């Protein structure tokens, strides 16, 4: 079930994109999602698409992964696109039925929204496929550092984030195990009506919560035993290095922005 | 109830980028009333294999016959409950599956899922709690107040309460103290003897295999590489060492005696067999 989700997975590799500094990748991805809203004609969308495909090519990850990553969200995308297509007015009207109408603007908007969704998913998939979760949380910690000035608990947040990321697969395994154990005891997770299905989740949720509590307790004890006393005065084992290629990435995005501004009308 | 595997293959997440093949052409035969042991390294596919025993997983190729049911890749997920009732699985660290407010409710949970009435389920809970060595005073307690070993017992009672014909045990004694380990294994043996329950034991402990099992399958990297009675499988000590599987303590010790010139007709696997063999040779001879 969860196995089908590609977004959020990491695929080890050794490409240019893999070796980039996670901070550069994180900034670039967010920046990309921001500027995608500036595109407003087909030239600019084509430009962005080519840029995305180029990045995917550089990552040496099979494009199939990305297409599969879109699949779970396909219905959401189609729903939004359909709303856009049928409820936008303006331009030439091709067809009308009650409140529904098919217009030139609607079609255009629909197609643009579709492109936007796909490109955003592609870019964020590219980020997670090529960056190990721990590097991501390091990058987030680094980028949040300015917030220390306003007493934002940066260390705590990033610690929680890296622990959470570390335990996602463990909890998934655990879920799977408990699910199997309860299925072996005659629980049916897929059958019955909504109420029955919700009831069937109880034997799964309670053990999961209990084991999370126990795990948290054990982990806290183990951390204290190893001398953890909070963020003050800690040194770092994993140090991020900003290199020339990271600067080049940022420059590439600046060029992308200039191109986009030039192409939009 | 017999369980039979025919050329079973299994792949996790087939046709995806994370595809992983785990079982290769498994042929397996589990006779009614037998005590079968599955041994092998971590990651050899033991746990995947045992989930096929009650159709939690379906083979991606081949077929599994459980009693009169045939499980093939095309088998529908509906209507598998009767199988799950007949084949009870005690998973590794089963204490993680407890969730009810009281021990009694938790043990009764399984039977109730299979349509046993409330009263009968309570009777079953009481019986099986005694069976695993806890007295009635535990019935009303919360399972989360118990010690690890007691939780394990309650969880096992929960599986036994379904009155399975086949009991699958995935390292049932992992993490228990020696006394608890011994009691637990003896309890399973008693069930096997008295109620004629078919037992399938997955374990790393060769002593348990030698003491209890009557047939052994050795798995390696998803393939069955050896099968036979414990006597047959453990005969080839060098091969087992090469596979880093180890041999029972008694056999290990007998090996050392052999190196010192003692002769055995067949390699003794249990402490009793070793003692008998030594006595038969006039073990007290050097006292003369």
A202 is written with which tokens? 């109880």
| Helix, coil or strand: residue A5 | coil
What are the extents of the domains in chain B? 1-86+198-245, 93-170, 248-281
Distance CA A256, CA A252 (A): 6
In this structure, are residues B188 and B172 in contact, taking their beta carbons and an 8 Å threshold? Answer: yes
Distance CA B117, CA A25 (A): 59
> What is the pLDDT, as a whole number, of residue B288?
42
A193 is written with which tokens? 């009506």
Distance CA B96, CA A206 (A): 10
Confidence (pTM): 0.80
Check CB contact of B13 with chain A, cutoff 8 Å. Answer: yes
Q: Does A185 contact B51 at a Cβ distance shorter than 8 Å?
A: no
- Nearest-CB residue to B51 (from A180, A186, A187): A180
> What is the pLDDT, as a whole number, of residue B125?
94
Q: What is the ipTM of this complex?
A: 0.87
Distance CA B239, CA B219 (A): 13
Does the pLDDT at position A2 exceed 80?
no
> What is the pLDDT, as a whole number, of residue B163?
92
CA torsion A227-A228-A229-A230 (nearest 10°) is 160
Q: What is the pLDDT confidence band of residue A108, given thresholds at 50, 70 and 90?
A: confident
Residues of chain B neighbouring A186 (CB-CB closer than 8 A):
81, 84-85, 110, 113-114, 162
Residues of chain B neighbouring A63 (CB-CB closer than 8 A):
none
Determine phi and psi for A7, rounding to 5 degrees: -55, 130
Beta-ladder partners of B64: B5, B71
Beta-ladder partners of B224: B219
Residue A8: other Cβ atoms inside 10 A: 15
Residues 6+ apart with CB under 8 A from B76: none
A86 is written with which tokens? 């049928």
Residues of chain A neighbouring B110 (CB-CB closer than 8 A):
185-186
Count how many pairs of residues, chain A against chain B, have C-beta atoms within 8 Å: 69
Mean pLDDT for A41-70 is: 88
| Helix, coil or strand: residue A84 | helix
Give B273-278's long-range contacts (Cβ < 8 A, gap of 24+).
B274/B250
- Percent of the residues in chain B that have a pLDDT greater than 90, as a whole number: 53
Mean pLDDT for A104-118 is: 87
For the stretch B242-260, pLDDT in tens is 888 888 888 888 888 888 8
> What is the pLDDT, as a whole number, of residue B102?
94
Instruction: Just give the CATH number of B1-86+198-245.
Output: 3.40.50.300
Q: Does A182 contact B88 at a Cβ distance shorter than 8 Å?
A: no
Beta-ladder partners of B39: B218
Which residue from B minimizes the CA distance to A178?
B97
> What is the pLDDT, as a whole number, of residue A1?
41
Query: Which one of A61, A177, A184, A201 makes the best mutation probe of the B interface by having the most chain B beta carbons within 10 Å?
Result: A184
Does the pLDDT at position B78 exceed 90?
no
For the stretch A12-23, pLDDT in tens is 778 878 888 899
Determine phi and psi for B124, rounding to 5 degrees: -60, -40
In this structure, are residues B184 and B173 in contact, taking their beta carbons and an 8 Å threshold? Answer: yes
Distance from the Cα of residue B188 to its chain's centroid: 9
Concatenated DSSP letters of A156-175: HHHHHHHHHHHHHHHHHHHH
Distance CA B60, CA B43 (A): 19
Concatenated DSSP letters of B102-149: SHHHHHHHHHHHTT--HHHHHHHHHHHHHHTT--GGGTTS-GGGS-HH
For residue B186, what is the enclosing H or E element? helix B178-194
Mean pLDDT for B90-110 is: 93
What are the respective helix, strand and coil percentages of chain B, to the nearest 5?
Answer: 40, 20, 35
- Report the candidate in B88, B270, B94 with the shortest Cα–Cα distance to residue B175: B94
Distance CA A85, CA A99 (A): 12
Check CB contact of B82 with chain A, cutoff 8 Å. Answer: no
Q: What is the pLDDT confidence band of residue B286, given thresholds at 50, 70 and 90?
A: low
Q: What is the pLDDT confidence band of residue A106, given thresholds at 50, 70 and 90?
A: confident
Q: How far is CA B265 from CA B253, B254, B256, B268, in A?
A: 15, 11, 15, 9
CA torsion B113-B115-B117-B123 (nearest 10°) is -60
Distance CA B75, CA B87 (A): 18
In this structure, are residues B233 and B226 in contact, taking their beta carbons and an 8 Å threshold? Answer: yes
Residue B103: other Cβ atoms inside 10 A: 27
In this structure, are residues B166 and B88 in contact, taking their beta carbons and an 8 Å threshold? Answer: yes
B222 is written with which tokens? 């998803």
B237 is written with which tokens? 């000590």
> What is the pLDDT, as a whole number, of residue B62?
92
Residues of chain B neighbouring A11 (CB-CB closer than 8 A):
17
Measured at the CA of B42, the angle between CA B207 and CA B58, to 5 degrees, comes to 110
Report A:7-36 residues touching B (Cβ under 8 A): 9, 11
Residue A199: other Cβ atoms inside 10 A: 11
Check CB contact of B78 with chain A, cutoff 8 Å. Answer: yes
For the stretch A82-94, pLDDT in tens is 888 887 776 667 7
**How close B15 gets to chain A, by Cα (Å)?**
11
| Helix, coil or strand: residue B30 | strand
Mean pLDDT of chain B: 89
Residue A25: other Cβ atoms inside 10 A: 24
| Helix, coil or strand: residue B228 | strand
**Comparing A9-23, B15-29, B107-121, which segment has the lowest mean pLDDT?**
A9-23
């Amino acid at each position: 079930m969860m196995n089908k989700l590609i977004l959020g997975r990491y695929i080890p590799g050794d490409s240019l994109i893999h070796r980039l500094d996670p901070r550069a990748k994180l900034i670039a991805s967010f920046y990309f999602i921001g500027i995608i809203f500036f595109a407003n004609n087909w030239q600019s969308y084509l430009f962005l698409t080519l840029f995305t495909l180029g990045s995917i090519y550089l990552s040496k990850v099979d494009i199939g992964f990305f297409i599969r990553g879109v699949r779970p969200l396909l219905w959401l995308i189609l729903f939004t696109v359909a709303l856009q297509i049928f409820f936008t007015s303006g331009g030439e009207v091709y067809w009308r039925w009650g409140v529904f109408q098919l217009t030139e603007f609607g079609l255009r908007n629909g197609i643009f929204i579709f492109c936007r969704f796909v490109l955003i998913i592609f870019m964020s998939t590219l980020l997670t496929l090529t960056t190990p979760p721990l590097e991501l949380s390091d990058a987030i910690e680094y980028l949040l550092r300015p917030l220390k000035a306003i007493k934002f608990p940066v260390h705590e947040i990033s610690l929680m984030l890296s622990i959470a990321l570390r335990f996602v697969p463990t909890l998934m395994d655990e879920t799977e195990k408990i699910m199997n154990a309860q299925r072996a005891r005659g629980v049916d997770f897929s059958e019955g009506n909504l109420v029955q299905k919700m009831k069937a989740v109880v034997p799964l949720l309670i053990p999961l919560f209990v084991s999370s509590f126990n795990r948290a307790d054990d982990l806290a004890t183990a951390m204290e035993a190893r001398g953890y006393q909070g963020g003050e005065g800690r040194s770092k084992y994993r140090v991020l290095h900003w290199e020339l290629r990271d600067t080049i990435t940022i420059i590439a995005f600046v060029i992308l922005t200039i191109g986009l501004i030039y192409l939009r009308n | 109830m017999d369980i039979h595997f025919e050329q079973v293959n299994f792949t996790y997440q087939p046709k995806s980028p994370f595809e992983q093949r785990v079982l290769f052409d498994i042929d397996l035969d589990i006779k009614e009333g037998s005590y079968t042991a599955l041994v092998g390294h971590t990651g050899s596919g033991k746990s995947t294999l045992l989930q096929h025993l009650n159709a939690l997983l379906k083979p991606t190729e081949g077929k599994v016959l459980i009693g009169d049911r045939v499980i093939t890749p095309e088998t529908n997920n509906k209507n598998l409950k009767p199988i799950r009732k007949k084949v009870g699985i005690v998973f590794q660290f089963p204490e993680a599956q407890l969730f009810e407010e009281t021990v009694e409710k938790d043990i009764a949970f399984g039977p109730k899922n299979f349509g046993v009435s409330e009263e009968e389920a309570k009777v079953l809970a009481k019986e099986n709690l005694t069976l695993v060595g806890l007295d009635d005073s535990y019935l009303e307690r919360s399972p989360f107040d118990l010690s690890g070993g007691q939780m394990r017992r309650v969880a096992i009672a929960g599986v036994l309460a379904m009155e399975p014909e086949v009991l699958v045990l995935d390292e049932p004694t992992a993490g228990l103290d020696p006394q608890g380990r011994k009691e637990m294994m003896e309890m399973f043996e008693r069930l096997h003897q008295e109620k004629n329950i078919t037992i399938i034991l997955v374990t790393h402990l060769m002593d348990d295999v030698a003491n209890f099992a009557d047939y052994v399958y050795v798995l390696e990297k998803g393939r069955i590489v050896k099968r036979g009675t414990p006597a047959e499988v453990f005969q080839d000590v060098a091969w087992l060492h090469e596979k880093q599987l180890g041999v029972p303590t008694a056999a290990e010790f007998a090996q050392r005696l052999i190196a010192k010139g003692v002769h055995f007709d067949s390699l003794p696997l249990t402490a009793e067999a070793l003692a008998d063999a030594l006595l038969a040779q006039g073990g007290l001879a050097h006292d003369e």
